[in-house]
Chain A
């Protein structure tokens, strides 16, 4: 229940507050969001399988975001930032699809 309220509060805060993304964070925020989405879908899947653990969720969330941002940062330093961010997006996208497929099986049984 608290996570749902948190999501709602976050969205409302983002809509109400006129905040622009800091320049230094601009290349990393989209990647971090996708990484966090991966963690969230993994968490939903875990809830449905009855194996959700808040500690695992927090660790995986933070680690996902940090590692994704780190990879992109490294890529930028090496001059392959665009390609590496594409790679990260592809991997996270595949994981999100897998998680959503599991959730779909749990919900619809198919």
Chain B
């Protein structure tokens, strides 16, 4: 499988703190990759860096993001999205407010498409939107297209967002916490929708989530993120069946216990400390780790467990 997207040693910070501290990961073509970790570990910021939607005070200080062989960071925000729109689709975390309220669903879905495909025309785009909605299990697509976002349920808004992201015949679908803030019934529907998308020919997915059950059901590979960098990566089975990092183990315990609420805590470790130096070469998890050793305070490198399984821990 060839590489579609890769983050290479990406550093980002706001005025006071480091946010991403040497983030490196990659997504191959057609592959579904998940990033898991607690709130505040930098999952959403890494997506923001790719899509140029970082908060105003956050800037990237070094590193690169390579998409299809080209460093996208060399383009300004506007130019980057004009280039990437037809290649990368994005489903945001808060889908209820991400559809423009003063336009019909049809207009919301087609407006960007007709601008990037000037030959297509709005009628063709609307037909494409209707077909997409039908393929996502929406039966009366024509009626839904004529509604305004305020008339849609939460689950329907989620599907419209996914459909909007797929309008551009994309290579990569990026989804930020796709199952959060949904009730259990709709969550099941959205999970099976993503499961069907992950089998789609040529479509890679990068999913950021703390919902481990969902991640396990769709991801080929999983990255565990802590304090702005990856601390463990591996195939989904390796991470879930044989976690190596103490932090990953604690996460998995929570996952099997069924704790799926957003602001969860790791009971053994307490809250993550906000004043840790994310850019330090030492292990950032050290203050919370119950298996700490003397070497943890020195530079910590990646240990190779298998060809596909790596962990940043002295073990």
A and B co-occur in one complex: no
**A residues within 8 Å of B by Cβ?**
none
**B residues within 8 Å of A by Cβ?**
none
